[in-house]
Amino acid sequence: MTVDSRKKALHHFFEKVVDALGYKFTPDEEMADFLLEQEVMLEKKHGIPFCPCQPITHERAHDMTVVCPCIPFHRKHFDLMKRCWCGLFVHKDVTDPDKLPQIPLSETGLA
Amino acid sequence: MKKVSMYTLSTCPWCKKTKKFFAEQNVPFDYIDYDLADEATQQRIISDMERHRASGFPFVMIENDIVEGYNPDRYAKLLGL
């Protein structure tokens, strides 16, 4: 499978999963394409499409929380930001993802 | 000029934006790409980040201040730009 075909497959799969969670792909198509490509490369390396913006620690319990789409593991945090940490997904009502900052969990009052 | 260093991921677009911000401001900085580092360095980075209750990249250190995530306004404020 080529990188492009895997990106399309992940897009197809992720779209259904995140829709049920109230999210959609970021309208920033260039960003979405870049992030998906990174995930395909991470999947080639590790066997799993990990988040490109969170660390893989090789501790299974942690690493399972950064498998894309990782929204269920960070639901309150991401709902507060209206985006996931890497920005691949945003709340369905978001039209301008550039206005959504990354807010560290430690600054949300949720931790 | 305050010392700027950061932990980043080579796969993270926000880390790339962060490096670009400091480069465009002509602010020298050091960085380590966590995913390209050896195991001992990775463990040190995770320990550093956990000490600051941080879990995501980029992780930016401006002297003694920590900024987790891409936040150019805060970078500029801490640097007095």
Q: Is the ipTM of this complex over 0.95?
A: no
The pLDDT value given to residue A31: 97
Domain residue spans of chain A: 3-107
Q: Please state the three-class secondary structure of chain A as a single string.
A: CCHHHHHHHHHHHHHHHHHCCCEEECCCHHHHHHHHHHHHHHHHHHCCCECCCCCCCCCHHHHHHHECCCHHHHHHHHHHHCECCCCCEEECCCCCHHHCCCCCHHHCCCC
Task: Determine which of B6, B7, B8, B9 to mutate to test the interface with A (most A C-beta atoms within 10 Å).
Answer: B9
Q: Do B56 and A104 touch (CB under 8 A)?
A: yes
Candidates A34, A55, A57; nearest CB to B13? A34
Q: Do B70 and A102 touch (CB under 8 A)?
A: yes
Q: Do A102 and B54 touch (CB under 8 A)?
A: no
* Whether A65 contacts chain B with CB within 8 A: no
The number of domains in chain B is 1
Q: Name residues 29-68 of chain B within 8 A of A (Cβ).
A: 34-35, 42, 45-46, 49, 52-57, 68
Summarised one tens digit per residue, pLDDT across range A63-110 is: 999 999 999 999 999 999 999 999 999 999 999 999 999 999 988 888
The pLDDT value given to residue A110: 86
Q: Do B56 and A52 touch (CB under 8 A)?
A: no
Q: Domain with B48 in it: what CATH number?
A: 3.40.30.10
Q: How far is the C-alpha of B25 from the C-alpha of A80, rounded, in Å?
A: 31
**pLDDT digit string (tens) for chain B, length 81 residues:** 899 999 999 999 999 999 999 999 999 999 999 999 999 999 999 999 999 999 999 999 999 999 999 999 999 999 998
Q: Do A55 and B11 touch (CB under 8 A)?
A: no
Residue among A51, A35, A94 at smallest CA distance from A83: A94
State the residue range of the domain holding B49.
Answer: 4-79
- CA neighbours within 13 Å on the CB side: how many for A59? 9
| Residue A41 CB partners (closer than 8 Å, separation 6+) | A3, B11
Task: Determine which of A3, A43, A53 to mutate to test the interface with B (most B C-beta atoms within 10 Å).
Answer: A53
* Whether A106 contacts chain B with CB within 8 A: yes
Architecture of the domain delimited by A3-107: Alpha-Beta Complex (3.90)
